[in-house]
């Protein structure tokens, strides 16, 4: 007989031309708190800027790139070389891999300081991710809205709240047919850390 709380079941999102699964809570409340605190302190967060028409435009969030040595990645025109894994990042990665059937070799981290921080519509379709990338996205801290929009039918949208300790797995043709974003929020909200684990070829 099962004792204690039944584990929260994963849900497959109803999205054509995509393969997206949401796991509501793969980390305990205690683990969430511990990971949130240590990642906010230990990770080498930076705010990137791109120059447009001679003006510096800062990314509206802090980011960092960790992974196997030699992994390189270009994101919105910004070239990054991976910082070596920390023991915590490896622990988190090991938790996700059996759920994803994938061995990740790098992670892009985002720190959303408040509701003014965001990520604009994009797909994770950089050439170094390969054709049908598997992307494993973990969230700690404040719940933020995550929206999908179909590229060929822009009125086709879906929105999901990414809660503390949740895991969103995007696979197959998802990045070909859908863009995603984390919009700004007008409410007074706390920080959120997101980790998107990836395989770089």
Ligand X SMILES: O=C(O)CCC(=O)C(=O)O
Binding footprint of ligand X on the chain (CB under 6 A): 108, 110, 119, 124, 137, 146, 162, 180, 182, 194, 196
CB 100 within 8 A of CB 138: no
Nearer to ligand X, 85 or 129 (CB): 129
- Judged by beta carbon distances under 5 to 8 A according to partner kind, the member of ligand X, Mn ion, none in contact with residue 194 is ligand X
Asked if residue 124 binds Mn ion (CB under 5 A), the reply is yes
Least distance to ligand X, CB of residue 187, Å: 17
Asked if residue 126 binds Mn ion (CB under 5 A), the reply is no
**Residues near 8 by Cβ (< 8 Å), separated by ≥ 6?**
23, 24, 25
Residues 191 and 201: their CA atoms lie apart, in Å, by 32
- Judged by beta carbon distances under 5 to 8 A according to partner kind, the member of Mn ion, ligand X, none in contact with residue 18 is none
Place of tokens 């990314």: 59
Q: What is the DSSP string of 95-141?
A: HHHHHHT----EEEEEEE-STT--EEEE----GGG-SS--EEEEEEE
- Judged by beta carbon distances under 5 to 8 A according to partner kind, the member of ligand X, Mn ion, none in contact with residue 162 is ligand X
Q: How many residues interact with Mn ion (rule CB under 5 A)?
A: 1
180, two tokens: 């995603």
Nearer to ligand X, 1 or 79 (CB): 79
Asked if residue 88 binds Mn ion (CB under 5 A), the reply is no
Give the SS3 label for residue 35.
helix
Nearer to Mn ion, 17 or 124 (CB): 124
* Candidate segments 81-89, 117-125, 147-155, 158-166, binder of Mn ion by CB under 5 A: 117-125
- Judged by beta carbon distances under 5 to 8 A according to partner kind, the member of ligand X, Mn ion, none in contact with residue 62 is none
Of residues 21, 22, 50, 16, the one with CA closest to residue 156 = 16
Which residues would be at the binding site for Mn ion (CB under 5 A)? 124
């Amino acid at each position: 007989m099962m004792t204690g709380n039944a584990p929260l079941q994963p849900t497959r999102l109803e999205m054509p031309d995509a393969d997206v699964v949401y796991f509501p809570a793969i980390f305990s409340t205690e683990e969430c708190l511990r990971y949130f605190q240590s990642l906010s302190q230990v990770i080498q967060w930076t705010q990137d800027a791109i120059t447009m028409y001679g003006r510096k435009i800062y990314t509206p969030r802090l980011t960092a790139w960790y992974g196997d040595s030699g992994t390189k990645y270009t994101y919105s025109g910004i070239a990054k070389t991976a910082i070596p894994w920390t023991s915590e990042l490896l622990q988190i990665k090991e938790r996700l891999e059996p759920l994803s059937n994938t061995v990740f070799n790098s992670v892009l981290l985002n720190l959303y300081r408040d509701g003014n921080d965001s990520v604009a519509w994009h797909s994770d379709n950089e050439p170094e991710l390969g054709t049908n990338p598997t992307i494993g996205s973990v969230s700690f801290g404040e719940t933020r809205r995550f929206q999908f929009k179909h590229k060929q039918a822009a009125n086709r949208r879906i929105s999901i709240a990414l809660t503390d300790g949740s895991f969103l797995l995007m696979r197959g043709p998802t990045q070909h047919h859908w863009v995603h974003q984390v919009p700004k929020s007008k409410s007074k909200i706390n920080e959120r850390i997101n980790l998107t684990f990836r395989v770089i070829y």
